[in-house]
Amino acid sequence: MHLFLTGVTGAVGMEMARWIARNTPKARVYALIRAPSSVVLKARWSKLAAKLWPDVSARPPEGQFIPVLGDITQPGLGLSPEDAARLASEVTHVIHSAANVELDAPLPEARQANVDGTRHVFEVVRTFRRLERAGYVSTLFVAGKRPGRFLETDEVHEADFVNPYEQSKYEAEHLVRGLMKELPIAMYRLAYLIGRDDGEVTRYNSMHSLMRLFYQGHVGAFPGTPDSRMDLSSNDYAAAALLTLFLEHYQPGRTFHIGNGDEGLRLQDFIDTMTEVSAETERRWAQGVFLPPDVVDEDTYTLLRRTLLQTQNKQSHEVIRLGDTMYGHLLASQVFDARPVHALLGERVKPPPAKQLLRDVLRHCVATDWGRNRI
Ligand SMILES: NC(=O)c1ccc[n+]([C@@H]2O[C@H](COP(=O)([O-])OP(=O)(O)OC[C@H]3O[C@@H](n4cnc5c(N)ncnc54)[C@H](OP(=O)(O)O)[C@@H]3O)[C@@H](O)[C@H]2O)c1
């Protein structure tokens, strides 16, 4: 397998690189990385390799991973003619994972990376003469505010979106579905990833910001019901499931849901687990000075939100800003159906229990002062 991989420096891409090095030692990986020059490209790759494989003896052999300079927002990915020719003649497999995952990026910015970027990637993929299969990485949250059970076969909906990121990914899916008529592409929709199975956080995102504000006692309420689901999972599970499906259960034209499905964390379990772990290290939680947030209905939350916006409390404003990009999913009472993937992968590749994952991730965040002190 000669794999062209985008997004290798990201939360998902890093775990895919580790999985490939461990499980498919004969694969060669061309990893697209953005950099202003080939010197910086090499430096970025060396830094990444040291992070992924701190034990030098466990590093993949020289030449298994080949960093390729490029930017998905550029037509032709900004590849050099030499790289473009090499990829066109050698690549057999593609996984496009690179994206702008900022939940509150303005829509044009999100579209530039996620829609135009995806178009550019597949324009280049079209030139690959030995192409056998391609995978596109999407998100379960393309469901937007659509309520109820969201199936792998669900594509188009009229519901609004909770944030511009998911709208841009929804639009990118539409583009990819059109491309499936001429290229062998399968789609992988992932749950919200919060860290590795052991709790390590490799890239911080909005969920960690919200967890931090919760830990500091600034989250007073969540809208929804105690049973509203939060489909949180681990980077390792996402990578292992995606690559196992890609290599062993490949079906062009099909969409796969990678998440907890019916076992998704309940909002009340999220609150209880956060409260329990916060009390281990923050005395104001242990002494009951900080109280667990309430779960309130939409009208109550709207009122509370308005009141808090009238205060000068910066942290409350930050909680509201984050909530505005996420809480719509709690109100939509969604379940992202994952039964087909669970049936395909069985006991071999299973999502980690969500409560334990949340516990370990929060402990890691606190121990590292939210990423400031690496351990
Ligand atoms: N993490 C999640 O919770 C989650 C959930 C559902 C779906 N997904 C999907 O999974 C995929 C990977 O997400 P992630 O969590 O790994 O994101 P991430 O940690 O933010 O990483 C994004 C990756 O994309 C690369 N990238 C961004 N813009 C680029 C550009 N213009 N040219 C080249 N590379 C670019 C980044 O490179 P730099 O290092 O240069 O920034 C990085 O490698 C995305 O398609 C995302 O939509 C993620």
Radius of gyration of the chain (CA): 21
Strands 185-190 and 133-139: parallel
Q: Where are the domains of the chain?
A: 2-198+230-263+334-352
What would the mean pLDDT of 156-168 be, rounded to a whole number? 95
Quick one: pLDDT at residue 58?
85
236 confidence band (pLDDT: 50, 70, 90): very high
Asked if the model's pLDDT at residue 254 lies above 80, the reply is yes
Q: Using one digit for the tens of pLDDT, what is the confidence trace for 73-84?
A: 999 999 999 999
- Whether 203 is in the pocket of ligand 1, judged by its Cβ within 6 Å, is yes
Q: Using one digit for the tens of pLDDT, what is the confidence trace for 22-64?
A: 999 999 999 999 999 999 999 999 999 999 999 988 899 989 9
For ligand 1, what atom is nearest to the CA of residue 98? Answer: 24
Quick one: pLDDT at residue 333?
86
Distances 116 to 171, 249, 305 between C-alpha atoms, Å: 10, 28, 35
Q: Is 0.85 topped by the overall pTM?
A: yes
Asked if the model's pLDDT at residue 375 lies above 60, the reply is no
Question: Residue 76 and residue 116: Cα distance in Å, rounded?
Answer: 11
Separation of first and last alpha carbons in the chain: 35
- Whether 45 is in the pocket of ligand 1, judged by its Cβ within 6 Å, is no
Compute the Cα dihedral for 204, 201, 51, 247 and give only its sign. Answer: negative
Q: State what percent of residues in the chain have pLDDT above 90.
A: 96
Q: Using one digit for the tens of pLDDT, what is the confidence trace for 301-321?
A: 999 999 999 998 999 999 999
- Whether 5 is in the pocket of ligand 1, judged by its Cβ within 6 Å, is no
Question: Residue 176 and residue 19: Cα distance in Å, rounded?
Answer: 25
- Whether 101 is in the pocket of ligand 1, judged by its Cβ within 6 Å, is yes
Structural contact between residues 109 and 19, judged by C-beta atoms closer than 8 angstroms:
no
Query: What is the three-class DSSP state of 182?
Result: coil
* Best residue for ligand 1 mutational test, from 6, 9, 32, 260 (most atoms within 8 Å of Cβ): 9
How many residues make up the chain in this entry?
375
Distances 220 to 45, 90, 316, 346 between C-alpha atoms, Å: 42, 55, 9, 39
Structural contact between residues 192 and 261, judged by C-beta atoms closer than 8 angstroms:
no
Quick one: pLDDT at residue 77?
98
CA atoms within 13 A on the CB side of 37: 2
Query: What is the three-class DSSP state of 339?
Result: helix
Query: What is the three-class DSSP state of 284?
Result: helix
- Whether 110 is in the pocket of ligand 1, judged by its Cβ within 6 Å, is no
Q: Using one digit for the tens of pLDDT, what is the confidence trace for 314-340?
A: 999 999 999 999 999 999 989 999 999
Q: State what percent of residues in the chain have pLDDT above 70.
A: 99
What would the mean pLDDT of 347-351 be, rounded to a whole number? 95
The side-by-side arrangement of strands in the sheet containing 65-69 is 65-69, 28-33, 2-6, 93-96, 133-139, 185-190, 255-258
Structural contact between residues 256 and 186, judged by C-beta atoms closer than 8 angstroms:
yes
For ligand 1, what atom is nearest to the CA of residue 71? Answer: 32
Question: In terms of Cα–Cα distance, which of 80, 186, 190, 77 is closest to 132?
Answer: 186
What would the mean pLDDT of 150-158 be, rounded to a whole number? 95
Query: What is the three-class DSSP state of 28?
Result: strand
- Whether 95 is in the pocket of ligand 1, judged by its Cβ within 6 Å, is no
Ligand 1 centroid–CA 215 distance in Å is 26
Quick one: pLDDT at residue 304?
95
Quick one: pLDDT at residue 373?
62
Q: Using one digit for the tens of pLDDT, what is the confidence trace for 100-132?
A: 999 999 999 999 999 999 999 999 999 999 999
What would the mean pLDDT of 209-232 be, rounded to a whole number? 96
Q: Which amino acid is residue 26, in one-letter code?
A: K
Ligand 1 centroid–CA 246 distance in Å is 19
Asked if the model's pLDDT at residue 374 lies above 60, the reply is no
The residues with which 4 forms a beta bridge, in sequence order, are 30, 94
Q: Determine which helix (DSSP H) or strand (DSSP E) holds 93, and give its type and residue range.
A: strand 93-96
- Whether 163 is in the pocket of ligand 1, judged by its Cβ within 6 Å, is no
Q: Which amino acid is residue 358, in one-letter code?
A: L
* Best residue for ligand 1 mutational test, from 112, 119, 150, 190 (most atoms within 8 Å of Cβ): 190
Structural contact between residues 261 and 41, judged by C-beta atoms closer than 8 angstroms:
no
Quick one: pLDDT at residue 89?
98
CA atoms within 13 A on the CB side of 290: 25
Structural contact between residues 77 and 91, judged by C-beta atoms closer than 8 angstroms:
no
Question: In terms of Cα–Cα distance, which of 247, 224, 199, 188 is closest to 365?
Answer: 199
For ligand 1, what atom is nearest to the CA of residue 193? Answer: 3
The per-residue pLDDT of the chain, averaged, comes to 96
Assign a CATH topology to domain 2-198+230-263+334-352: Rossmann fold (3.40.50)
Q: Can you state the angle between helices 206-215 and 314-326, rounded to 10 degrees?
A: 140
- Whether 13 is in the pocket of ligand 1, judged by its Cβ within 6 Å, is yes
Quick one: pLDDT at residue 372?
80
